[in-house]
Amino acid sequence: MTNDRPFLRISGGHSLSGELRVSGAKNSALVLMAACLLTRDPIRLRNVPALTDIAGMGEMLFSLGGRVERKGDALELDGSGIHSSAAPYELVNSLRASFFCIGPLLARMGTARVPMPGGCKIGSRPVEEHVKGLKALGAHVSIEHGVVTASIPGPTRRLQGARIVLDCPSVGATETLMMAAALADGETVIENAALEPEVVDLADLLTAMGARVRGAGTPTIFIDGVDRLHGADYAVIPDRIEAGTFLLAAAITRSRLRVAPVIPTHLCAVLSKLEQAGCRIETDGDGIILSAEHLTAVDLRTQPFPGFPTDLQAPFMSLLATAEGTSMVTESIFENRLQHVAELQRMGASIRSQGNTAVIEGVARLSGAPVQGTDLRASAAMVLAGLAAQGITEVFGLEYLDRGYADFEAKLNAVGASITRLPASARSGHGVLPT
């Protein structure tokens, strides 16, 4: 129930100024943590954000016999004590990314039993590309009672390099198979691989661990399997989705903000759409400065990288709700990622959605209201809308927001926002609470 959860109370209409610091990339750190299963040596990951998803992956590794210790913004990971190849259902069910452990677990232990991650609010989230790829590498894989059981037949208990063609450029499947192939016997070629920066980050960590990986960031990745991998000390890339969210905070409040660190090539499609809408963008060392005054409508369609990222579709729609003119947004990656439309309508946005497309008529001003974040990125979108809205907005669904944004309200308050995190008992009670 929403009404027993803390929420954010936002007083809208403040312009922002200063610099927003970007944390390490959640969707990279999660898979880099799984890679520690591939070696008995310690691994230090630096620039790891303090998020509930990261804690969840730590629990997963601990349940398998690994050790994870946080030291400031670094994690010390020790996979030497891995004694189990069976991942617990409740951890995989609560954190889909923990399914990515199946590849390294299988390569390390010769067997792996990992529950299907199941669907979530944004879609069914299938994993057949992961399964097909593991079979191509020589594993026996069965799915019974919601559990994927993989094992490597034969005396060597070692995967065999293979040529794998993905039906879709799945980020998770590409990462799972890269990790499995790193210890396989022979060369693996992954065709139609995902191009996302997080895939490149994983390839860079694996290389630092002694793996032989070429082509990450292109549609064809080559991995020459090695007998063993060693430890590494590695810094996670900045979170491009958090950076994009902060740039949108500057745009929606018509402010000038510096966002850093950020790697501009990780956000080309987003920067292009922001400029098309009328934002002024300058790159400045390791940061980007965005300033915005009058903004106009743009159309966008989410695509695999380097196209417009699905994870910024909801936050960008909040901006379009306040931009002059008619915008069309098409979500082509996930089948149910427009649930924030209804919440934005509660704030006075003029949006019509049909299937995976929404048509947005910009309005002069959104009005504050109690709203529900329906997934991680939709929660952030509602906070952005609250920053621009007239009056008070109460955003529920912080269990989603805290999965992907560290110190979100503190960072925004430091540049002039007015956001307070309150217990459910402090609810204003005006309007009908979202269910």
Cβ atoms within 10 Å, residue 292: 23
Cβ atoms within 10 Å, residue 341: 19
Among 108, 113, 130, 258, which residue sits at the site for ligand EPZ (rule: CB under 6 A)?
Answer: 130
Residues 261/220, Cβ–Cβ less than 8 Å = no
**Angle in degrees, 0-180, between the axes of helices 240-252 and 376-388, rounded to the nearest 10:** 20
Q: Is 168 a catalytic residue?
A: no
Q: Does the protein bind ligand EPZ through residue 307 (CB under 6 A)?
A: no
DSSP symbol at 362: -
Q: Compute the distance between CA of residue 417 and CA of residue 411 in angstroms, rounded to an integer.
A: 9
Stretch that binds ligand EPZ, among 72-80, 163-171, 268-276, 422-430 (CB under 6 A): 163-171
Residues of the chain by 3-state class (helix, strand, coil), percent to 5: 35, 25, 35
Cβ atoms within 10 Å, residue 142: 10
Among 30, 77, 152, 184, which residue sits at the site for ligand EPZ (rule: CB under 6 A)?
Answer: 30
Stretch that binds ligand EPZ, among 155-163, 167-175, 290-298, 408-416 (CB under 6 A): 167-175
Instruction: CB nearer to ligand EPZ: give 167 or 293.
Output: 167
Q: Does the protein bind ligand EPZ through residue 171 (CB under 6 A)?
A: yes
Shortest separation between residue 102's beta carbon and ligand EPZ, angstroms: 12
Task: Name residues contacting ligand EPZ, limited to 81-100 (CB under 6 A).
Answer: 97
Stretch that binds ligand EPZ, among 33-41, 55-63, 171-179, 360-368 (CB under 6 A): 171-179
Q: Does the protein bind ligand EPZ through residue 27 (CB under 6 A)?
A: yes
DSSP symbol at 206: H
The pairing of strands 147-151 and 163-165 is unpaired
Q: Compute the distance between CA of residue 41 and CA of residue 44 in angstroms, rounded to an integer.
A: 10
For tokens 């022979």, the residue is 186
Among 178, 300, 333, 415, which residue sits at the site for ligand EPZ (rule: CB under 6 A)?
Answer: 333
Stretch that binds ligand EPZ, among 120-128, 219-227, 263-271, 282-290 (CB under 6 A): 120-128
Instruction: CB nearer to ligand EPZ: give 301 or 427.
Output: 301
CA distances from 294 to 59, 393, 412 (A): 47, 23, 22
Residues 34/100, Cβ–Cβ less than 8 Å = yes
The number of residues that bind ligand EPZ (CB under 6 A) is 24
Q: Does the protein bind ligand EPZ through residue 313 (CB under 6 A)?
A: no
Instruction: CB nearer to ligand EPZ: give 234 or 308.
Output: 308
Cβ atoms within 10 Å, residue 328: 14
String of DSSP letters for 245-264: HHHHHHHHTT-EEEEES--G
**Angle in degrees, 0-180, between the axes of helices 171-182 and 26-34, rounded to the nearest 10:** 30
Binding mask 37-76 for ligand EPZ (x = CB under 6 A): ----------------------------------------
Q: Give which of 271, 302, 243 is closest to 123, Cα–Cα.
A: 302
The pairing of strands 357-361 and 326-330 is antiparallel
Q: Is the backbone of residue 198 left (phi > 0), alpha (psi -120 to 50) or beta?
A: alpha
Residues 135/176, Cβ–Cβ less than 8 Å = no
Q: Does the protein bind ligand EPZ through residue 240 (CB under 6 A)?
A: no
Instruction: CB nearer to ligand EPZ: give 327 or 379.
Output: 379
Catalytic residue among 36, 101, 120, 268: 120
Shortest separation between residue 218's beta carbon and ligand EPZ, angstroms: 16
Instruction: CB nearer to ligand EPZ: give 346 or 377.
Output: 377
Among 172, 238, 370, 434, which residue sits at the site for ligand EPZ (rule: CB under 6 A)?
Answer: 172
Among 10, 20, 127, 288, which residue sits at the site for ligand EPZ (rule: CB under 6 A)?
Answer: 127
For residue 121, how far is the Cα from the chain centroid?
A: 15
Among 311, 394, 402, 409, which residue sits at the site for ligand EPZ (rule: CB under 6 A)?
Answer: 311
Shortest separation between residue 376's beta carbon and ligand EPZ, angstroms: 5
Q: Give which of 232, 305, 314, 246 is closest to 281, Cα–Cα.
A: 246
Instruction: CB nearer to ligand EPZ: give 255 or 372.
Output: 372
Among 123, 210, 306, 416, which residue sits at the site for ligand EPZ (rule: CB under 6 A)?
Answer: 123
The pairing of strands 212-214 and 111-115 is unpaired
Instruction: CB nearer to ligand EPZ: give 316 or 362.
Output: 316
Which residues of the shown chain bind ligand EPZ in the complex (CB under 6 A)?
27, 30, 97, 123, 125-130, 168, 170-173, 194, 198, 310-311, 333-334, 376-377, 404
Catalytic residue annotation: 120
